[in-house]
Structure 1
Amino acid sequence: MKRLTGKVAIITGAARGMGAVTAKLFIEHGASVIIADILDDAGEQLAQELGNNAYYVHADVSNEDDWARLTGAAEAIGPLTTVVNNAGILHIAAIKDSDAADYMRVIQINQLGTYLGIRAAIEPMKRAGGGSIINISSIDGLQAKNGLSAYVSSKWAVRGMSKSAALELGPYNIRVNTVHPGGVFTAMHGAEGKAAPTAEDNAFYANHALPRVGLPIEVANTTLFLASDDSSYSTGAEFIVDGGWSAGMRLDLLPSS
């Protein structure tokens, strides 16, 4: 059964990785999808591969004018019902070894980009009679790691901002939720050039509840649920897709079944 028939979605950071997998899944379920990215060659190629219901639009998510073009392109297809704020970047450095420019680059894409995406969707979704905004946070929006001060800050901000937006936009039947992936097999986690995870890729997760890296489709399936009418009473909520990472670690020194 197709779960997104008649939906029009914008997915940012969709030229590759988790965004591309999400775009493909949405189209399989009947949606029309705007693939938004700055990777023009990859984005154009993906749109061609996915067929007539996929459209590539160059967009820097930290640019307000680009968001206006995105929503305009979406409404040229039909009422805008779905925005997936997926675009994100990572900067790994100790606080003492980074500077304000490093920090702000992450904040501008991950946090400001999500804010602008939420804001740009409001009036189009009001015209549509409602909609679903899905903000991709991270397990690092629930906890923290050393060396990721900017990334962690941005993902906690996305989590809090989404709850605030859910309260503001609920009266218009606009739902706002966050998805919190753990380790996912994308370019950000060493997937470049690999068809599938290797034993080495999975080794880091050996003591997690599910002892392997996650796959992009496993996160995309949760995003699909939130984009569909099946999640019509879910807003301001956190959906964790982390293989049990946030539950804790299995300790070899203690008994286990």
Structure 2
Amino acid sequence: MTAGAPPAPPQQATRRRSAAVLAVALLLVELVAACQSYLTSTITPLMAQDLDARDGYGLLMAATQAAMFLTMPLGAALLSRWPAARLLAWLTPVVVAGGVVSAASPTFTLFLSGRVLAALAAGALMTVSLSALATSLPPAWRRLTLAGYALVWLVASLVGPVYAGWASAVIGWRWALVAYLPLFLAARAVVILRLRELDRAEQGARERLALVPATLLAAGITAVSLAGTSWARTLLAAAGVVVVLAAAARILPDDTLRLARGR
């Protein structure tokens, strides 16, 4: 009988397969999101022409970016209360609803509402997805997935414009906003199911994070993003910086902002 490494226990092998499937699903979700970003920039002129919203470019870009950055800090507070799988199950339908509202909108106002709704959910989803990657994958798979994210965006830079051009010309901008949803939902479903299968002990105990500091952090970031050349906007941005620092001091570990040793 030849000597060799003992076979892995069935439970360990199952967990390895779950980690591999979870990593692939996370990369697929990232690829879909990356391609969709190219699509959004491509269909915007077509939407503006159909909905007579040629003056709404700036408002559309600013509103969606502000909505996304507003909910990013809230993701940590939500994760301190509910598991990542449950949050993904709650927030993913909101993204879908936003896409459907925008695709079916007869006016620019309704289109903008759908994009903002989707962006609000997407901001929190970014935090939740990164948490799933950091806490649910073994170190080796975590490194591979992070490296895969860079590769995904490289692939998307080649595939995304081609897909965006095809979708805009063949199926129209309305259908293009929802055509990706089946693949998006399938990948999200795999992520949710795999996260539920993982042992909670490996995900670590959740420490409750106060919602008030997280909300203040989001509001402060929004205020900073509104900085401008006028005195009012400058004062608003300065106040936002103060609020961000105060909220961060409550959220981050003690003495982090003081650059204490060990932090």
More helix by share: 2
More strand by share: 1
Q: Is TM-score (shorter-chain normalized) higher than 0.5?
A: no
**Given the two structures, how large is their TM-score scaled by the length of structure 2?**
0.26
The structure having more radius of gyration, on CA atoms, is: 2
**Given the two structures, how large is their TM-score scaled by the length of structure 1?**
0.27
